[in-house]
Structures are given as C-alpha cells and as structure tokens.
Structure 1
Amino acid sequence: MSRRIAVLSVVAGVVALGGAGAFAVAYAGEPQSPVLAHSTARYVAPDGDRDGSLTFTTDVTSTEGVKKVNVLVWPADSSFSDMHLTEKDMAAVETAECEPSGGDTVHCTYRVAFTREDAEEAPRGVWHTAVLATAGDGTTTLETEAADFTIG
C-alpha cells in the first residue's frame, strides 16, 4: 500500500470516529426515555377451586434508573380502543414490582389473581397490556399494547 493511501485511510478513520464521538456526546446529553423489552402476558384460567392468574413481565432499561412501571390490562373490544390511552390515564393504575437485573435494566412483574367470578365477568377475546415506564429523571415511555393475551 502506498504511503499516500495509508495516510488518507488514517485521516478518513479519524474523521469518521471523531464524527461518531461528537454525535455520541451530543446524544448523551439529552434525556433518554425508558426502553421496554421482552414484554409478555400469560393468563391462566381458574380451574376447579383454584384461582387463575394474569402475569405480565417486561424488562425496562434507563440510564436514569426506573422510578415506576404502571400496568393496565384492557379488552381489545373496549372504549379504550377509541380513546387512545394517555400517560394521564395510566398515572393512577397499579404498579409492577421491579427488581434489578443487570446494568441499567430492571425486570418488572405485575401479577393479579383471577377468581372464577372475575373470569365469568371478563369480556371474552383478546386483551392488551398497557405500560407506562417512568425513569428517575421523569422521562416516560407509554406502550398501549405491550403484550396481548386471550380470555376464552
């Protein structure tokens, strides 16, 4: 390789890395919303004398820490579909229990018992799980359909 090509390659690499570094520094200064991953919902119907349950889990990552995770389950065929849930709607709903799971990530679990009466009164069909994650700095992420389950 000629000396000129080697010098140009080094200069191009320094410019590229410098640009990426400047972008990373500029981007790191802005608040980042929490990120949800691996969200799942599992419904178990009551059986005999045993209650059923709904368990929702998700991993939430935030460099600012996770202040709280609010969870709401709602039938797909309900008025929420037309209303479009907002952060204000989610502020007063139940919260998930969260445990550190490495780095800036917490693993959150929301669990509720389903009695036979609950299951009989619940609308049949697809249900959605809405999640509002709030970071320590107040930034939020709202996911209105984080995970689905079916009551049948």
Structure 2
Amino acid sequence: MSRRMALSVAAGAVVLVGAGAYALAYAGEQPPALTHSTARYTAPEGGRDGSLTFATSVTASSGVKNVKVLAWPQNSSFAKNKLTAKDMAAAEPAVCVPFKKHTATCTYRIATTASDAGSSPRGVWHVAVLATARNGATTLDTQAADFLVK
C-alpha cells in the first residue's frame, strides 16, 4: 500500500470515529420521547366515582426522572395562551415504572366525583405531559392524548 493511500485510509478512519463519537454524544442529549399515550375518562354513575386514567411510555437516554400530567378543557385559556413548562410546575406527577433500560411506563389516575363532573366543562379535553430526564432535558406535549366529557 502506498504511503498516500495509507494516510487517506487513516484520515478516513479518524473522521468516521469522530463522527460516531459525535453521534453518540448527540444521541445522549436528546429530550425524552413520549409514545403510546392514551387517556380514558369514565363519568361518575349511580353513586360511583368516575376516573381519568392516562398512560404513556417515556424514553430518555439518561433515564426518566419524572412525568407531570395536567388535563385541560379545549375551550380554556390554555387554548389561546399556549401551555408552558412553567404552567406545568403545579401539575400532578404520574407514577412511572421502569420498563426497559431507558424507558418507563407512566400512569396517572384520578377519581372524579359527581360534583367534579357536574362543574367541569363539557366537550373535548386534552392531557398535557411534561417529561423530565435524569440529565435535566425536558419534553412538553400539550396534547399528548384527548378525551371527551359528556
């Protein structure tokens, strides 16, 4: 192999190794990803409480630190003034259970009384989710799932 060709091969290898290291470092900085988000609302009936159950899978390369959930009606002020991470500060936490190395299954459940249902706006509601990874990266999905209150 000629010296020029050997230098070209060596330079190419250095570029490939550097690009691979950059790709790994960049992948580690990705914000959490939400998948398979579902919401199920059951109205109170016959003296029984209803409930809202929300579930999602969260994947974060550094691990999942926490997930906060907020249900909001489509005709609320959040529709006009976009919901922010700051708005989510007082939201309630979901319970997250590790599923795979970097993925957790998170569930949020709240009971709904007849009084709650009677005073809630009718129509479409959205579920907002703020997922925080162990490295501090966050993802806010203001409409991770929807449900209908009749």
Question: Where does residue 102 of structure 2 map in the other structure?
Answer: 104
Moved over 6 A (4+): 17-21
Determine the C-alpha separation between the residues in 2 that align with 1:21 and 1:131. 37
How many residues are treated as equivalent by the alignment?
137
Determine the C-alpha separation between the residues in 1 that align with 2:97 and 2:31. 19
How far off its partner does 1:23 sit?
4.0
Identify which of 60, 63, 69 aligns with 2:61. Answer: 63
Question: Where does residue 119 of structure 1 map in the other structure?
Answer: 117
Change beyond 3 A, Cα 1:121–1:104: same
Is 1:25 matched with 2:27?
A: no
* TM-score normalised according to structure 1 size: 0.84
Change beyond 3 A, Cα 1:46–1:136: same
Consecutive unaligned residues in structure 2, runs of 5 or more? 1-12
How far off its partner does 1:19 sit?
7.2
Question: Where does residue 39 of structure 2 map in the other structure?
Answer: 41
Secondary structure of the corresponding residue to residue 84 of structure 1: coil
Question: Where does residue 87 of structure 2 map in the other structure?
Answer: 89
* TM-score normalised according to structure 2 size: 0.85
How far off its partner does 1:123 sit?
0.3
Secondary structure of the corresponding residue to residue 64 of structure 1: coil
Determine the C-alpha separation between the residues in 1 that align with 2:15 and 2:57. 32
Secondary structure of the corresponding residue to residue 90 of structure 2: coil
